[in-house]
Amino acid sequence: MVDAKNNKFPIYAVIFTVAFKLLFLLTHYIQEDAFITWRVAQNLLDYGVIGFNGDTKISASTTHLYVFVSYFFNLIFGKEYFIEPLLIFNSILFTIGTLFLSHLLLKNPWHKAIFIFLIGILPPAIKISILGMEYGILFFLEMSLLYYGFNKGKKWVQTILPALIMFTRIDTVIFLGIVFLVDMLWNKKIRWNYVFGGVWGVLLSVAFNWFYFGELVNNTITAKKLLYGQEYTFQQHIDYFLASFGNYWGMLKLPGNFNPITIIVLIFELLCFIYLIRQREKRNYFLWMIFIFGWAKQVIFISQKSLFDWYYWVPQLLLFVPVLVFVLEQKIKRNWWLSLLIIFYILPMLAFQTIHSIATGNGEWNYRRNIGLFLNQYEKDKNQWIFLEPAGYVPYFSGLKTIDEVGLVDKGVQTEIKKDKKNYWINTVKSRKPKYLLSYKNLYDGNDANSVYYQTHYRLLKEFRVKDHLKSNNKILEKIYKLKPSGTDYNLYIRID
């Protein structure tokens, strides 16, 4: 009876962790790109087409599976009320994923419960759960594959889940490949069901892109590579890595090129991993999988100059897992180790993320969303176009047809980039003549032909300034807003001819 009761502790931890993290819904911190996926889902609802602007097909979202999930949540709850249920759903799935991970690595129910809660309140876990991206579903699917496919030996899981994982994000081929290699080297055999699942997953993803969109990879990948791709010297590669690894490898995004906290944590993670894998236990089989994947994903994405921090959330967590396991399994002074970890790392990380979420939520929800709401009221004709960057909050809340600077939601920009990358912005404006321009810069500055063109054809309609959104009746919130102001100043222009 006691054992049965103890075995429920991890389930209680899941429920408590989800409930605790739902407090972050109050911050209204939702990632910009989530609104791209949700608009694609609503476009599918309204036009029956996976696109962004009416009946034009385009893979504007990085994730196909999450588009369909978002579509069903819109269908069930309606466009006005689907966001909170979907965020709760993401949080539940992610936390169940941590439950599966705890079963793979730990035996003591109490240790599992502590593991679930502590990993669940780290910054990447909070962002995965609450920011509206697809990683809650992805983490659940990946941990389900390890737990049911490789721990329980369910062959149907090995066959089906790789396809779902890859249909969520095509770059998960890294995770699936690492799992395959570790499993083959550890067990000295090949799981052909899993091989078939991987091959089927690749074919399904590529075939869907090809037959539906007429492209092999998602448009988002093509667009980012086209605009951001450039040749680097070896020294530039080194400089870029030094400037980026602290922000994207660790859990803190701090200004500057050097982040000593990240280096200390990385070394400790590596030492804990080496300590744990000294014996050939089944637990270590999964530790090898998640740790190698964490390093591989980080190295590959940083080397490819991937600036978006959500790419790093899952590996950040998985690389930290050996630290939690090491501390929880200490037989001498375990409580001392655990107290030090909580006081000097986990609680500061939680405090940092809380401040970050409040400040960024203000900048996104109260500021950037306000621009979209203004346009929604000002412009009643939703067939009018706006040219801007990024394509999340403002297009979603304005309802206007959208051209984004990167070409994620409209391929016409890519055509202009190929013609003349240096002048693609002004060339897009001249050829497409969008009614609205939303720019970080003052387009009237300068005496060149471009500024003359803007002065001739566009009128400044409204200025949006971050400083105007740093006030609150709550003095603590106001201090946080001013401590970490979030957002960018914008100028909104309207065409006059």
In the chain, where the domains are located = 359-495
Which one, of 379, 371, 376, lies nearest residue 435 by Cα?
379
Four-residue CA torsion sign, 405, 408, 410, 415: positive
**How far is Cα of residue 267 from the mean position of the Cα atoms in its chain?**
25
Which one, of 423, 391, 426, 386, lies nearest residue 406 by Cα?
391
Residue matched to tokens 């001013």:
482
In order of 90, 94, 161, the CA distances from 125 in angstroms are: 11, 8, 22
pTM of whole model > 0.85? yes
Cis preceding-peptide flag for 390 (omega within 30 of 0):
yes
Q: Compute the distance between CA of residue 207 and CA of residue 217 in angstroms, rounded to an integer.
A: 10
Which residues lie below 8 Å from residue 472, measured CB to CB, with a gap of 6+? Answer: 478, 481
Query: What is the H or E stretch that residue 451 is in?
Result: helix 449-457
Beta strand segments in 45-181, E: none
Task: Give me the numbers of helices (H) and strands (E) for the chain, helices first please.
Answer: 24, 5
For residue 257, the SS3 value is coil
Q: Other CB atoms closer than 10 Å to residue 73's CB: what's the count?
A: 21
Q: Other CB atoms closer than 10 Å to residue 295's CB: what's the count?
A: 18
Rg from Cα positions in the chain: 24
Q: Compute the distance between CA of residue 404 and CA of residue 389 in angstroms, rounded to an integer.
A: 5
In order of 164, 265, 384, the CA distances from 122 in angstroms are: 26, 14, 42
Q: Tell me, what's the pLDDT at 2?
A: 45
Which residues lie below 8 Å from residue 48, measured CB to CB, with a gap of 6+? Answer: 55
DSSP letter for 217, please.
S
Q: Compute the distance between CA of residue 392 and CA of residue 364 in angstroms, rounded to an integer.
A: 10
Which one, of 477, 475, 484, lies nearest residue 26 by Cα?
477
Long-range CB pairs of 301-305, under 8 A, 24+ apart, other chains included = 301/248, 302/241, 302/244, 302/245, 302/248, 302/249, 303/237, 303/241, 305/228, 305/232, 305/240
Angle ∠(185,186,187) on CA atoms, nearest 5: 100
For residue 58, the SS3 value is coil
Could you tell me the mean pLDDT of each successive run of 10 residues in the chain, 497 residues long?
71 97 95 96 96 94 94 96 97 98 96 97 96 97 98 96 95 96 96 95 93 89 81 76 74 71 89 92 93 94 82 95 95 90 94 94 94 96 95 95 94 92 93 96 87 94 94 91 90 94
Q: Compute the distance between CA of residue 262 and CA of residue 275 in angstroms, rounded to an integer.
A: 20
Q: Compute the distance between CA of residue 186 and CA of residue 64 in angstroms, rounded to an integer.
A: 33
Q: Tell me, what's the pLDDT at 280?
A: 80
Q: Tell me, what's the pLDDT at 467?
A: 92
Q: Are 387 and 366 in contact (CB under 8 A)?
A: no
HSE-CB of 222 using CA atoms within 13 angstroms: 23
Q: Compute the distance between CA of residue 495 and CA of residue 497 in angstroms, rounded to an integer.
A: 6
In order of 49, 390, 428, 433, the CA distances from 420 in angstroms are: 31, 21, 10, 18
For residue 42, the SS3 value is helix
